[in-house]
Structure 1
Amino acid sequence: MNPYHQSLILIGMPGAGKSTLGLLLAKSLAKDFVDTDLLIQLEHRKTLQDILNEQGHLALREAEEKVLLKAQYPNHIIATGGSAVYSSAAMQHLKHFGPIIFLDTPLNILESRIHNMNTRGIARPANQTFADVYAERRPLYLQYADIVIDCKDKNLEQLIDEVIYEEAEAFIQYEA
């Protein structure tokens, strides 16, 4: 696959910066941008939190899986929802478009960014803490990641440069 036509798929916890970094990467790499959380909201005509409140966390995960499995996004930066990794089928589907990039952000940084835990639309059982979600999901992110970006102590510009460099290195090795 030509690197100019492949997509980059961003995974990570809520608050890791997938949407923010994704938009900036799209601009830097001349790619389209899609946020799958927004696709879910548009399809259901309600917020992620409303889906959680009305149908529960498993319904939100199912809605996310359906949106991801329908995704046909070559030459995009794709920011996934934090719970995308609960669907092996969806993750395998996304790998067809390009490398999966895990934005590995320490728990303390994520907690400092998440001020709306109960209204943000995080697909989790009501009794699960943010630390519990992190502990449960991080191994899944590592399992599916083609590239892991350590986000600790880096600003957006440094992260953009690192993602672009790592993606280019991975492509060169893939082609060899």
Structure 2
Amino acid sequence: MNNVTLIGMPGSGKSTIGVILAKALGYQFLDTDLVIQKQEKRKLSQIIAQEGPERFKEIENRVNASVDVTETVIAPGGSVIYCEEAMKHLRSIGKVVYLKISLESLSKRLGNLRGRGVLLKEGQTLKDLYEERVPLYEKYADIVVDEEGKDLEESLAAVLEIINTGA
């Protein structure tokens, strides 16, 4: 399969870079968070508040494990890495690219995490979440693109270069 799935922390640029990357490759773009919201008929933050984090993960796993596309840049939510079935599926249908960003840069980009529909445990900080997720992003990534010190165009160029060289 010839898809590209972008994984990374909320605010790492999955959707922003994903749309431009899709245009550059002549691919479609799919934000699976939007698919979840459409299927569930409510925002991610509402699903988490009403159903709880575990039920949200089940929904997220189901939606991402059933993605059936070709020539598409896929941008799942940052918590998809908790969904083993979904990650195996996404890896089986294309390359998984981890958009790596430092905790410092991330905290500058992000506002209200809960308002963004970010899956946080009670009392969990951004630092806690970052330290918990980074090893999982690295585990599932076929390719790692370090975004540190890069603007949008530089990050996009780095992703394209790696994809085009088949690294």
TM-score with structure 1 setting the length: 0.91
**Please, what is the CA RMSD of the aligned residues?**
1.1
Question: Which deviates more, 55-64 or 13-22?
Answer: 55-64
The separation in 1 between residues aligned to 2:135 and 2:162, in whole angstroms, is 21
1:43-81 Cα distance to aligned partner (Å, 9 max, x none): 100000001111111111111101011100110000010
Instruction: Give ranges in structure 2 of 5+ residues lacking alignment.
Output: none
Q: Which residue is equivalent to 1:93?
A: 89
Contact 2:114 2:120 in 1 (8 A): no
User: Match of 1:119, SS?
Assistant: helix
CA distance in 2, matches of 1:160, 1:114: 20
**Partner Cα distance (1:164, 1:65) in 2:** 27
Deviation of the 1:149 alpha carbon: 0.3
Equivalent AA in structure 2 for residue 144 of structure 1: Y
Q: Partners in 1 of 2:122 and 2:29 — Cα distance? A: 31
Report the residue type matching 2:53 in the other structure. Answer: H
Specify the alignment match of 2:166 in structure 1: 170
Matched residue, 1:30 = 26
Q: 2 CA distance for matches of 1:118 and 1:8? A: 27
**Matches for 1:108-123 after TM superposition, within 5 Å:** 108-123=104-119
TM-score, normalising length: structure 2: 0.96
Aligned residues of 2:95 and 2:142 also touching (Cα < 8 A): yes
- C-alpha separation in 1, matches of 2:29 and 2:122: 31
Query: For residue 138 of structure 2, what is the aligned residue in structure 1?
Result: 142
Structure 1: 5+ residue stretches without partners: 172-176
Q: Which residue of 1 aligns with 2:42?
A: 46
SS in 1 for 2:78: coil
Taking every aligned residue pair, what percent have the same amino acid on both sides?
40
Q: Give the total of aligned pairs.
A: 167
Aligned counterparts of 2:146 and 2:127: Cα–Cα separation in 1: 18
Q: Distance in 2 between matches of 1:106 and 1:33?
A: 26
Matched, 1:126 2:122: yes
Give the 3-state SS of the residue equivalent to 1:131 in structure 2. Answer: helix
SS at match of 2:116: coil
**Residue equivalent to 2:150:** 154
Say which SS state the counterpart of residue 34 (structure 1) adopts.
strand
CA distance in 1, matches of 2:163, 2:71: 13
